[in-house]
Amino acid sequence: MSQGLIVVDVQNDFCEGGSVPVKGGARIAAAIADLVERSAGREYRYVVATRDHHIDPGGHFSQTPDFQDSFPVHCVAGDEGADFHPHFAPVVTDGKVHAVLFKGAHSASKSGFEGADAEGTPLADWLRSRGVEKVDVVGIATDHCVRATALDAVAAGFRTRVRLDYSVGVAPDTTAAALNDFRRAGIAVSGKVPAPE
* pLDDT, tens only, 52-95: 987 776 666 667 766 777 676 667 888 998 999 999 999 999 99
Q: What average pLDDT score do residues 45-55 get?
A: 91
User: How far, in Å, CA of 87 to CA of 172, rounded?
Assistant: 25
For the question of residue 15 being annotated catalytic, the response is: no
Residues 92-146 have pLDDT tens digits of: 999 999 999 999 776 777 899 999 999 999 999 999 999 999 999 999 999 999 9
Look at residue 42 in the predicted model and tell me its pLDDT: 86
Q: Which position among 52, 136, 145, 152 bears the catalytic label?
A: 145
What Rg do the C-alpha atoms of the chain give, in angstroms? 15
Closest CA to 114 of 80, 155, 142, 75: 155
103 is catalytic: yes
145 is catalytic: yes
Q: Which of 15, 103, 143, 152 is catalytic?
A: 103
pLDDT digits (tens, 9 = 90+) for 161-190: 999 999 999 999 999 999 999 999 999 999
Contact 48/5 with Cβ under 8 angstroms?
Answer: yes
